[in-house]
Amino acid sequence: MQSHIMTEMVRRRRDRTRKRAREPQEMITADNWTSIAWTNANKRVIGPGEYDPYDNRAHLLRVGDRPPSAAIDGAGICVMAGSSPRFYIDGPWQNIEMSSDIFIGKSVKECYLVVRSNHEDRPDGFGGYYLYLNYDDQKMYFKKELTHELGYSSRLVSKSIRFPRRRWVNAKIRVKNGTAGEVEIQGEFNEQNITLTDSGQIKCGDVSNTAPYLDVGKWCFIRTLTK
């Protein structure tokens, strides 16, 4: 896995055949995070609740039936293991693009990218906007999580995809505030796209018509789930 996060929107040219940008990117804002620390030739394993010793914004959450781990090879690859590993990047994040190159093994049934999340601020932190990549169903879709206790929406804007195992694929989610108090969400997977506007109509758990979350989130994260 390789990842790239930046606030606001960007205009860029990418080599889509592999794992990183080949040409200069035109930044609209200054704040961004990339996985450049994974290429520093220092192999390490990050354990549950630990931060990357070479990146004070990146950490692995302590969660799951089997303890998670994140093994960084020093050459640009991070391998996550465990029943439900979650790799967090500290914010603050609002209008944002999160991009990740993903290579899944045989035990993974789905993975997802999450933005504008205050998920660990229990009980009232906003859970986030999610782009799901479901290997078992071969679908991509969005979900919105209101809070950890109040729960998720159903699948939103589901689309069929071809999600292969043991091959690098690129996924991306963009979230920004609209001009009329709505939130605009875009998802990409291997050049397929879905879009969603949250204008207050989305039901999460038993709560109908949840308000769009327009504020800053503390984290972005990527999570995988195993069979």
Q: What is the pLDDT of residues 68-87, one digit of tens each?
A: 999 999 999 999 999 999 99
pLDDT tens, residue by residue, 86-138: 999 999 899 999 999 999 988 899 999 999 999 999 999 999 999 999 999 99
Q: How many Cα atoms within 13 Å fall on the side-chain side of residue 198?
A: 27
Which CATH architecture group holds 2-10+29-226? Sandwich (2.60)
User: Using CA atoms in the order 51, 54, 58, 62, what is the torsion angle rounded to 10 degrees?
Assistant: -20
- Which of 189, 220, 192 is closest to 3 using CA atoms? 220
Parse the chain into domains and list their residue ranges.
Answer: 2-10+29-226
pLDDT tens, residue by residue, 139-165: 999 999 999 999 999 999 999 999 999
pTM: predicted TM-score of the whole model, two decimal places? 0.89
What does the pLDDT read at residue 6?
55
